[in-house]
């Protein structure tokens, strides 16, 4: 109220110009804002409501004042526009800069929904200036959602989703707004466009299904149709199991006879948590009545199949039993042969051992005879010595008798004999100890010395010494005998120990051979068991699991007559039906588990399966590349296409994956390849020249020249001034016979380029085109003269004029011969840098004079594969060196 009162006072009370009124009005508004803000925060909302013209709360007096103002403006024919100053909040750091604009109220004012607010206009200006500013787009969408204006919502979401169609969350928001502001039919159209743009989005299909289920509640055909569309579009996606699961649960409540077929489809897809879903399927089989799973016709088919399967398994069991018996017989024969071999080896070892024992006995007998001969000779020598000693003793006795007779000793009886020397036990022990310390040589030398002693010395010995020597000699003989016996005992013990060791080694060999034989038998048995079993998961046989949960098929009496109705089924027949269903699914289950084991590591490596403008980590890109290579090698086209589409959701901005996709698809379907090229170039890679050039070459090769021109014009519009694109455009026109259009393209490049070197480059290309392709030598000379007049200090122009005059020919170079020279240079022993230079020149030559676009594509592929990385590395080195300088 205060604002309008002061406005009336300014405009009606004083005779001022409109500009003065506007200036003072602005000042007054600012003053009132400050005053009311200090008193009450509600004033801000009222001012905003006034500016938006949404809710005007004025009194009758204010209406009169406003009418007076309008009449006064009409009388003075003032058709100037009122200025409205809009205060815009300062954006945050990540929020793009807002632009303050004035509202323009024309006479043909559009509807309220079509007029953007100042905030919306600011964000529209930001995204128009930079369509790739994703943050500005998100802020714009937030603003239009908050304001709730239909036209602005449609315009903003349509423009955004045309640039970023893989943002499934914004499709959902758009559909919700259409449902809220218009109708369910409008939301349905948005969802339809969404699933066409991103058919592999499981979340988007889930939203769509929930929308249809809520909208068409009770309409089974519509709900079933949307479920079928969902599983056909994204049922092969790795994370689509929740859609399958929801579909199965819905069919359980709707049409119970469709559940089994749906489960077979579901469990035949390579999706996550397969084992969990298979267990749920098995539970459903065993806890659901047969009459609620299959019809009577299906039951008859399953029972007949089960009978055939039972007969087949019976034959297999019988065959397996026979094979086992044959194997056991062969093993028994082999064991018997092995036992015979071991017995022969044992007998041979015994014979060898007996022979060794005989040889040892013979050797011992010879040694014994030799020792006895030596002992006899020794005894004979001892006897001779004794005889000599006895003769000497007799002589001594005779001398003693003579001496005694002449001089007898007092107190001694002549008739009494001389007492024998007494040898005590202690002396004998001491003597034995001393003799034990001596070695055999000492004893033998001693005995030899005693033999060689002269008779005179012996004769002089006393009887006592003689008896001691005899005693010693006898003891020495005994000791030698004892030593010989001990030596024999030791030799016998050593021989027995050697024999025992040999016997133990032989026994160990026999035991080892028997163990090896047992291991071989065990391995054979394991192999037979593995052949019999089909390992499904966690080293468990699915058939074994089935047999644990159902009756054994041998117990099912298949001779029972088939029932007329489901209610007449016996328990055994129901068990047979359940078992046959699981047996049919077992091979599929095994195959899916094997596939999941192979790809699980790649699926776990996918950390961001959805679209985002942020770059992916290098390890993520490598994971996608390896995953694609693995699936491509399997030669499964449908599965490869699905994986490519999944990859390109997360890697939409990576040109290499798109080129790989079209390279794979070009050999399968050209039309689909063209669609992929269009999707990549027109939506995701609008500023990537290589894929545009590939698209143009692909379409030119097919004869679709208009599409090729469209591809080249598109990249020229978004990224103007590229040399390769301009050359390709001119070459396309030249190859299609439009010589003048090609010349115009090159001349346009001269007129629009910047920099002297670039201009000289295009002049040379244009002159060559005029000389060799248009065969107009006079026009070439005239054009060069004009350029020389414009740049008289340009040395290159004079050199080109000399070259034209030296070779005033219009004959086009022989392309095959020139390409042969290039190929010879590229296969020579030149350095890699030189080869890269020749490869680049080959590309330029083919663009100017090549007649086959396929040859141009091959040259580009060879250059990118062998030399592009090297040239880029050299370029980076030159740039780094220039920066450092």
Q: Assess whether pLDDT exceeds 50 at residue 55.
A: no
Distance CA 157, CA 148 (A): 12
pLDDT tens by residue, 636-684: 999 999 999 999 999 999 999 999 999 999 989 999 999 999 999 999 9
Q: Assess whether pLDDT exceeds 80 at residue 255.
A: yes
Distance CA 94, CA 101 (A): 21
Q: Assess whether pLDDT exceeds 70 at residue 154.
A: yes
Compute the average pLDDT of residues 756-778: 86
Q: How many residues does the chain have?
A: 885
Instruction: List 540's β-bridge partners, or say none.
Output: 537
- Per-residue confidence (pLDDT) for residue 603, from 0 to 100: 93
Confidence of residue 242 (pLDDT cuts 50, 70, 90): very high
Share of the chain above pLDDT 70, in %: 66
Contacts of 72 (CB under 8 A, 6+ apart): 11, 12
Confidence of residue 298 (pLDDT cuts 50, 70, 90): confident
Distance CA 104, CA 98 (A): 18
Distance CA 863, CA 840 (A): 7
- Per-residue confidence (pLDDT) for residue 300, from 0 to 100: 87
Tell me which residue of 774, 800, 806, 769 sits closest to 786, measured CA to CA: 800
- Per-residue confidence (pLDDT) for residue 465, from 0 to 100: 56
Q: Assess whether pLDDT exceeds 70 at residue 736.
A: yes
- Per-residue confidence (pLDDT) for residue 226, from 0 to 100: 95
Tell me which residue of 576, 561, 583 sits closest to 303, measured CA to CA: 576
551 with 255: CB under 8 angstroms?
no
Tell me which residue of 713, 722, 777 sits closest to 749, measured CA to CA: 722
Distance CA 305, CA 577 (A): 9
Neighbour count for residue 108 (Cβ, 10 Å): 4
Distance CA 328, CA 337 (A): 14
Instruction: List 537's β-bridge partners, or say none.
Output: 540
Distance CA 435, CA 456 (A): 27
Tell me which residue of 305, 287, 294, 302 sits closest to 258, measured CA to CA: 294
Q: Assess whether pLDDT exceeds 70 at residue 462.
A: no
**Main-chain phi, psi angles of 537, to 5 degrees:** -155, 140
Q: Assess whether pLDDT exceeds 70 at residue 452.
A: no
Cα torsion 104, 107, 112, 113 to 10°: value is -80
Distance CA 482, CA 37 (A): 135
Phi/psi zone of residue 77: left (φ > 0), alpha (ψ -120 to 50 degrees), beta? left
735 with 853: CB under 8 angstroms?
yes
Compute the average pLDDT of residues 382-392: 77
- Per-residue confidence (pLDDT) for residue 414, from 0 to 100: 40
Q: Assess whether pLDDT exceeds 60 at residue 394.
A: yes
Q: Assess whether pLDDT exceeds 60 at residue 374.
A: yes
Share of the chain above pLDDT 90, in %: 32
Tell me which residue of 172, 161, 134, 166 sits closest to 646, measured CA to CA: 166
Compute the average pLDDT of residues 267-291: 93
331 with 521: CB under 8 angstroms?
yes
Confidence of residue 449 (pLDDT cuts 50, 70, 90): very low
Distance CA 777, CA 769 (A): 10
Burial of 683 (0-12, 13-18, 19+ CB in 10 A): middle
* Tokens 């107009």 sit on residue: 776
- Per-residue confidence (pLDDT) for residue 787, from 0 to 100: 85
DSSP letter at 55? -
3-state DSSP assignment of residue 540: strand
- Per-residue confidence (pLDDT) for residue 836, from 0 to 100: 83
Mean pLDDT, rounded, of the chain: 76
Distance CA 767, CA 743 (A): 9
pLDDT higher at 842 or 645? 645
Q: Assess whether pLDDT exceeds 60 at residue 460.
A: no
pLDDT higher at 151 or 450? 151
Q: Assess whether pLDDT exceeds 90 at residue 707.
A: yes
Confidence of residue 714 (pLDDT cuts 50, 70, 90): very high
Q: pTM value? A: 0.61
Burial of 648 (0-12, 13-18, 19+ CB in 10 A): buried
Compute the average pLDDT of residues 791-810: 79
Alpha helices (runs of H) in 76-149, residue ranges in sequence order: 118-129, 134-147
Long-range contact set of residues 724-731: C-beta below 8 Å, sequence gap at least 24:
724/689, 724/693, 724/847, 725/689, 725/692, 725/693, 726/762, 727/765, 727/844, 727/847, 727/848, 728/693, 728/696, 728/697, 728/847, 730/769, 731/847, 731/848, 731/850, 731/856
pLDDT tens by residue, 495-508: 666 666 766 666 66
CA distances from 155 to 131, 162, 204, 290, 387 (A): 14, 11, 21, 56, 152
Distance CA 731, CA 714 (A): 17
Q: Assess whether pLDDT exceeds 90 at residue 539.
A: no
Q: Of 351-355, 477-481, 643-647, 873-877, where does mean pLDDT reach its minimum?
A: 477-481
Confidence of residue 855 (pLDDT cuts 50, 70, 90): confident
Q: Assess whether pLDDT exceeds 80 at residue 216.
A: yes
Q: Tell me how many helices (H) and strands (E) the chain has.
A: 36, 0
Compute the average pLDDT of residues 99-122: 60
Contacts of 534 (CB under 8 A, 6+ apart): 541, 542, 543, 586, 587, 590
**Main-chain phi, psi angles of 315, to 5 degrees:** -65, -40
Compute the average pLDDT of residues 198-204: 93
Distance CA 342, CA 509 (A): 9
Distance CA 569, CA 563 (A): 6
- Per-residue confidence (pLDDT) for residue 510, from 0 to 100: 61
439 with 480: CB under 8 angstroms?
no
- As a whole number of Å, the CA-based R_g of the chain is 57
Confidence of residue 792 (pLDDT cuts 50, 70, 90): confident
Q: Assess whether pLDDT exceeds 70 at residue 559.
A: no
Tell me which residue of 508, 591, 582, 500 sits closest to 549, measured CA to CA: 582
Tell me which residue of 673, 682, 680, 726 sits closest to 704, measured CA to CA: 673
Query: What stretch of H or E contains 637?
Result: helix 637-650
Compute the average pLDDT of residues 566-581: 85
Distance CA 160, CA 154 (A): 10
Rounded (5°) CA angle 278-282-288: 140
Q: Assess whether pLDDT exceeds 60 at residue 41.
A: no
Confidence of residue 101 (pLDDT cuts 50, 70, 90): very low
- Per-residue confidence (pLDDT) for residue 519, from 0 to 100: 66
CA distances from 370 to 365, 382, 444 (A): 8, 18, 17
Residue 154, CA atoms < 13 Å, CB-side half-sphere: 14
CA 64 to chain centre: 78
């Amino acid at each position: 109220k205060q604002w309008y009162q002061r406005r009336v006072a300014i405009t009606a009370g004083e005779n001022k110009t409109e500009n003065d009124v506007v200036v003072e009005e602005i000042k007054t508004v600012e003053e009132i804002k400050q005053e009311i803000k200090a008193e009450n925060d509600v004033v801000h909302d009222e001012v905003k409501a006034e500016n938006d013209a949404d809710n005007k709360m004025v009194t009758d007096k204010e209406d009169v004042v406003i009418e007076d103002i309008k009449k006064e403006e009409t009388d003075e024919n003032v058709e100037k526009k009122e200025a409205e100053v809009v205060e815009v909040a300062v954006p945050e750091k990540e929020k793009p800069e807002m632009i303050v604009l004035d509202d323009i109220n024309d006479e043909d004012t559009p509807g309220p929904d079509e007029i953007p607010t100042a905030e919306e206009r600011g964000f529209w200006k930001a995204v128009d200036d930079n369509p790739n500013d994703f943050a500005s787009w998100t802020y714009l969408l937030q603003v239009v959602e908050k304001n709730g204006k239909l036209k602005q919502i449609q315009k903003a979401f349509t423009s955004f989703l045309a640039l970023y169609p893989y943002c499934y969350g914004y499709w959902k928001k758009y559909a919700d707004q259409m449902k809220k502001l218009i109708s369910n039919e409008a939301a349905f159209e948005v969802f339809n466009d969404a699933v066409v743009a991103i058919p592999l989005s499981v979340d988007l299909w889930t939203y769509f299904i929930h929308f249809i289920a809520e909208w068409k509640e009770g309409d089974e055909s519509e709900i079933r149709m949307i479920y079928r569309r969902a599983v056909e579009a994204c049922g092969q996606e790795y994370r689509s199991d929740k859609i399958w699961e929801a579909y199965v649960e819905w069919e359980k409540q709707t049409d119970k006879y469709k559940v089994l077929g749906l489960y077979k489809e579901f469990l035949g897809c390579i999706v996550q948590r397969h084992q969990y879903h298979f267990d749920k399927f098995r539970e459903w089989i065993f806890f659901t009545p047969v009459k609620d799973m299959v019809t009577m016709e299906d039951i008859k088919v399953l029972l007949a199949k089960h009978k055939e399967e039972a007969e087949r398994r019976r034959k297999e069991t019988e065959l397996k039993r026979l094979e086992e018996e044959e194997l056991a017989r062969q093993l028994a024969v082999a064991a018997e042969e092995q036992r015979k071999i071991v017995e022969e080896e044992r007998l041979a070892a015994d014979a060898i051992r007996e022979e060794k024992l005989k040889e040892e006995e013979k050797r011992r007998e010879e040694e014994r005879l030799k020792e006895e001969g030596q002992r006899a000779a020794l005894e004979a020598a001892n006897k001779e010595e004794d005889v000599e000693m006895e003769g000497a003793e007799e002589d001594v006795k005779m001398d003693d008798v003579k001496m005694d007779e002449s001089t007898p000793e007092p107190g001694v009886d002549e008739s009494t004999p001389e007492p024998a020397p007494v040898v005590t036990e202690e002396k004998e022990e001491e003597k034995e100890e001393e003799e034990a310390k001596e070695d055999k040589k000492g004893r033998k030398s001693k005995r030899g010395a005693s033999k060689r002693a002269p008779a005179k010395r012996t004769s002089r010995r006393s009887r006592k010494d003689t008896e001691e020597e005899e005693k010693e000699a006898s003891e020495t003989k005994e000791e030698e005998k004892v030593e010989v016996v001990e030596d024999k005992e030791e030799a016998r013990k050593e021989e027995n120990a050697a024999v025992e060791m040999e016997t133990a080694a032989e026994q160990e060999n026999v035991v080892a051979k028997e163990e090896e034989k047992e291991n071989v038998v065990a391995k054979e048995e394991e192999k037979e068991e593995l052949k019999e079993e089909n390992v499904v998961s966690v080293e468990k046989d699915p058939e074994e699991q089935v047999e644990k949960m159902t009756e054994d098929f041998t117990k099912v009496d298949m001779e029972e007559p088939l029932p007329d109705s489901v209610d007449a089924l016996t328990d055994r027949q129901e068990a047979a039906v359940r078992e046959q269903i699981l047996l049919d699914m077992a091979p599929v289950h095994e195959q899916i588990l094997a596939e999941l084991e192979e790809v699980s590591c790649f699926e776990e490596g996918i950390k961001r399966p959805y679209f985002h403008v942020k770059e992916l980590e290098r390890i993520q890109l490598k994971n996608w590349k390896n995953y694609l290579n693995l699936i491509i090698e399997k030669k499964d086209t449908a599965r490869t296409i699905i994986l490519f589409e999944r990859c390109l959701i997360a890697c939409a901005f990576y040109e290499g994956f798109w080129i790989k996709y079209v390279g794979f698809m070009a050999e399968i379907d050209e039309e689909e390849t063209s669609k992929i090229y269009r999707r990549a170039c027109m939506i995701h890679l609008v500023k990537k020249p290589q894929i545009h050039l590939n698209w143009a070459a692909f379409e030119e090769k097919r004869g679709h020249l208009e599409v090729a021109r469209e591809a080249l014009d598109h990249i020229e519009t978004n990224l103007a001034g590229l040399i390769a694109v301009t050359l390709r455009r001119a070459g396309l026109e030249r190859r299609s016979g439009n010589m003048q259009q090609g010349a115009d393209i090159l001349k346009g490049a001269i007129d629009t380029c910047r920099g002297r070197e670039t201009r000289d480059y295009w002049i040379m290309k244009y002159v060559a085109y005029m000389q060799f392709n248009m065969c107009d030598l006079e026009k070439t000379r005239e054009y060069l003269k004009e350029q020389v007049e414009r740049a008289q200090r340009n040395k290159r122009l004079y050199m080109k004029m000399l070259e034209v005059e030296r070779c005033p020919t219009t004959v086009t170079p022989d392309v095959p011969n020139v390409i042969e020279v290039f190929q010879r240079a590229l296969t020579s022993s030149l350095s890699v840098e030189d080869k890269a230079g020749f490869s680049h020149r080959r590309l330029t030559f083919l663009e100017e004079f090549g007649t086959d676009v396929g040859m141009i594509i091959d040259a580009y592929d060879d250059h990118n594969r062998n030399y592009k990385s090297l040239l880029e590395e050299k370029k980076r080195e030159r740039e780094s060196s220039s920066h450092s300088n």
